[in-house]
Amino acid sequence: MPSSLVTIEDIRRAAESLRGVAVRTPLTEVAELSRIAGFPVYLKHEQRQPTGAFKLRGAWNAVSRLAPDVRNRGVITYSSGNHGQALAFAAQRMGIRAVIVMPETTPAAKVDGVKKWGGEAVLVGTTSEHRYARAQEIAARDGLSIIPPFDHPDIIAGQGTIGLEILEELPDVAVVAVPIGGGGMAAGVTTVMAALRPGAKVYAVEPEGAAGYAAAVKAGKPVRLTSTASVADGLLPLSVGALTFKHLFGRAEPVTVSDTAIVEATRWLHFDVGLTVEPSGAATTAALRSGRLRVTGPTVLVVSGGNIDPARIPDLKPVAA
């Protein structure tokens, strides 16, 4: 895998490839969040993508950049759900096969989402390492190209288009908060801000029970957590990516939030704001509402996804780390 950093030109090229595929999601100010912060606070609605999450941006960019003969053999990934749905969507649009290796604990809504877009769901284990090993086996057997969920330059470039859209709509943004699991979106958005709005602060928000980025920042390099646990099932990699960390270190500050805060924010967004948002997508709102996020000016909270059954929201409970 290439190790060089993604550039702003790479991200602009990705934006061109996404025209007519990804939705240019809106920013909307939420009065209660602005009141808490003392500055305008906007949500970036990535839950409005066709697949219900931001992952479509990176998946499409990565698949579209494969050589045609390689692409036509099909693709595979290891994913907790949203990247898998995005890859299945991209593959269906391009008329190719997609195999998605997912954890046995994947919510039914995300498994159904993969199948909805024509993907083949393979359920195995509970960690990214389990999924990675099975994906490698299937890829070797069937000649499929592996499209990683986050630690690849084409994925980072695709996710970084979120940052371009934020700046085009809110050029004076002072704070951008993004959820972080493996770090693809955080790396892309951070790259955009460093290039075009270096005075803005980027915060990478993760659950206390899956604080891989905070651990990496403390160590100065990615570290493998023994285990992860959180209601935010999309933010559970055992480690931030090696390549994503190169983009983030010294540029994005980690913020950890409790599962209690994430559950509260998910419910508040649903019942008070009228938004169906999965816990991973509510992490940035949780950081602000719980006082973990320091706001110094106009702020954008990226809502990364909404793939949750609304009927589950009233019964959500924190997961013990």
d(CA 258, CA 280): 12
CA 203 to chain centre: 14
Determine the CATH number of domain 8-54+152-315. Answer: 3.40.50.1100
Rg (CA), the chain: 18
- The pLDDT score that the predictor gives to residue 2 is 47
Whole-Å CA distances, 210 to 151, 226, 245: 17, 10, 16
Distance CA 115, CA 100 (A): 10
**Left if phi > 0, otherwise alpha if psi is -120 to 50, otherwise beta: which for 249?**
beta
Identify the band that residue 321 occupies on the pLDDT scale cut at 50, 70 and 90: low
Whether the Cβ atoms of residue 80 and residue 113 lie closer than 8 Å to each other:
no
Whether 209 shows a pLDDT value over 60: the answer reads yes
Determine if residue 274 is left, alpha or beta; phi over 0 gives left, psi from -120 to 50 gives alpha, anything else beta: left
| 8 A C-beta contact, residue 172 and residue 298 | yes
Given a cut of 60, is residue 29 above it in pLDDT?
Answer: yes
Residue 127 clears pLDDT 80, i.e. is over it: no
Q: What is the pTM of this model?
A: 0.93
What pLDDT band is residue 312 in, cutting at 50, 70 and 90?
very high
Res. 270: pLDDT tops 90:
yes
How much is the pLDDT for 1? 42
**Type of residue found at 310:** P
Average pLDDT over residues 51-78: 95
> What average pLDDT is seen over the chain?
94
Averaged pLDDT, 259-284? 97
Ranges 45-54, 109-118, 190-199: which has the least confidence: 109-118
Q: What digits encode the pLDDT tens for the residues 226-265?
A: 999 999 988 988 999 999 999 999 999 999 999 999 999 9
Name the least confident of 112-116, 164-168, 251-255.
112-116
Q: Which comes out higher in pLDDT, residue 2 or 141? A: 141
**Per-domain residue ranges for the chain?**
8-54+152-315, 56-146
Question: In sequence order, what are the residues at sequence separation of 6 or more whose Cβ sits closer than 8 angstroms to the Cβ of residue 264?
Answer: 286, 289, 290
CATH fold for domain 56-146? Rossmann fold (3.40.50)
Cβ atoms of 210 and 236 within 8 Å: the answer is: yes
Position 215 confidence tier, pLDDT thresholds 50, 70, 90? very high
Burial 256-280 (b: 16+ CB within 10 A, else e): bbbbebbbbbbbbbbeebebbbbbb
Give alpha helix (H) positions in the chain: 8-17, 31-37, 56-64, 68-71, 82-94, 108-116, 128-142, 153-169, 184-196, 212-219, 242-248, 259-268, 279-289
Task: Name the band, by pLDDT with cuts 50, 70 and 90, for residue 320.
Answer: low
The Cα–Cα gap between 116 and 154 comes to: 25
Q: What is the pLDDT of residue 44?
A: 98
Condensed to tens digits (0 to 9), the pLDDT of residues 80-103 reads 778 999 999 999 999 999 999 988
